[in-house]
Amino acid sequence: MSIITVPSQPIATLPAMGLMGVSAPALQKTLGKAVECSGIGVHSGNLVNMRLCPSAENTGIVFMRTDLVNGARSIAARWDNVIDTRMCTVIGNDHGGKVATIEHLMAALAACGIDNALIEIDGGEVPVMDGSSDSFVFLIDVAGVVEQAAPRREIEILAPVEIEQNGKRASLSPDDVSRYSVTINFDRAPILTQSCDIILSRGAFKNDISRARTFGFFEEVEQMQKMGLARGGSLDNAVVIKGNEILNQEGLRYSNEFARHKVLDAIGDLALAGMPIRGHFDGYCTGHALNNTLLRALFARPDAWRVVEGSMETAQAAAI
């Protein structure tokens, strides 16, 4: 069971680039107040309590393990802190602290325009809730979003960067907006070939992406559990496929829910860039590992990107 209650390393660690000024810069945002939730970790099976808190300008998204001590507690949600990508995205620090399955929460924070937040959590995995980002969007709506004094910064893609591994592909290319396109291809019904394409905004994410659930195959559960994964998985927090049938009594939320969830994952994984990306993400059969590899390839190419101040016009469009 998942429960929601409603109580009343800095971004600068990215390689330094000059800001390209605009006349009316958008401002950074954080949460209006702290909000809490509790739920099961889909892989660990453990009950976890989590609190989303406002945070200062230029601090980014930081997870705080309240059950640990000293240096292990604080883990910045950043691409170079990713330590595992098997079935989920895991971040960690040099002192042994780690947090798993952060992608659904990170997608919600990114889509809702949250630049700075402190995530207090008393376990090693973000609660899976219903397997989507819907509960996290609700929490952010309840907390409210407030502007801060510092200008918002974005990563503008200047040149294409592409990664291909074993027939899977992911790329970033220049675009005036933040666009996500994903195609998946499975050799079995009910998935087969599906695609999804969105221009990222709060409204588009909330209406078209946030409710898309993670999915898995019944035949693979035993092997995953032997690997220490999927111990908390159930029909309450994942779409489960057995043979060519969907076991969930309510069926699918969207006809292409599987592709939409892959877009959700990509938004969450790319949010680890540390600031919004202005460009086009295009993925074919991509996953957490390839998404992180793409970010590493991007930041290894200083000619392919630059940091710019977000414009008020862009921020207003993203908020719709």
Q: Is 194 helix (H, G, I), strand (E, B) or coil?
A: strand
H or E element that contains 98: strand 98-99
The dihedral built from the CA positions of residue 204, 205, 209 and 210, taken in this order, carries a sign that is negative
Is 288 among the catalytic positions? yes
Identify whether the C-beta of residue 75 lies closer than 8 Å to the C-beta of residue 168.
no
Task: Specify the pLDDT at position 8.
Answer: 38
pLDDT in tens, 46-58: 999 999 999 999 9
* Residue 220 main-chain phi, psi, to 5 deg: -100, -5
Which of 113, 116, 105, 89 lies closest to 48 in space, CA to CA? Answer: 105
Convert the pLDDT of each residue in 242-264 to its tens digit: 988 999 999 999 999 999 999 99
Q: Is 261 helix (H, G, I), strand (E, B) or coil?
A: helix
For 193, phi and psi rounded to 5 degrees?
-105, 125
Residue indicated by tokens 């330094």: 16
252-309 confidence digits (pLDDT tens): 999 999 999 999 999 999 999 999 999 999 999 999 999 999 999 999 999 999 999 9
Region for residue 223 given its phi and psi (left: phi exceeds 0; alpha: psi -120 to 50; beta: otherwise): alpha
Q: Which helix (H) or strand (E) holds 257?
A: helix 257-270
Each residue's pLDDT tens digit, 130-158: 999 999 999 999 999 999 999 999 999 99
* Mean pLDDT confidence for 66-81: 95
Residue 156 near residue 177 (C-beta atoms within 8 A): no
Which residue is catalytic, options 104, 261, 280, 288? 288
Asked if pLDDT for residue 19 goes beyond 50, the answer is no
Helices 257-270 + 103-111 axis angle, to 10: 80
159 contacts 237 by C-beta, under 8 angstroms = no
Q: What's the residue count for the chain?
A: 320
Name the burial class of residue 181, with classes exposed (0-12), middle (13-18) and buried (19+) by CB atoms within 10 angstroms of its CB.
Answer: middle
Identify which of 183, 170, 153 has the alpha carbon closest to the alpha carbon of residue 292.
Answer: 170
How much of the chain exceeds pLDDT 70, in percent?
88
Higher pLDDT, 105 or 8: 105
**Helix (H) / strand (E) containing 29:** strand 27-31
Q: Residue 132: exposed, middle, or buried by beta-carbon count in 10 A (0-12, 13-18, 19+)?
A: buried
CA separation for the pair 246, 98 (Å, rounded): 33
Residue type, 70: N
State the number of CA atoms in the 13 A half-sphere of 134 facing the CB. 16
Structure token pair of residue 133: 């980002």
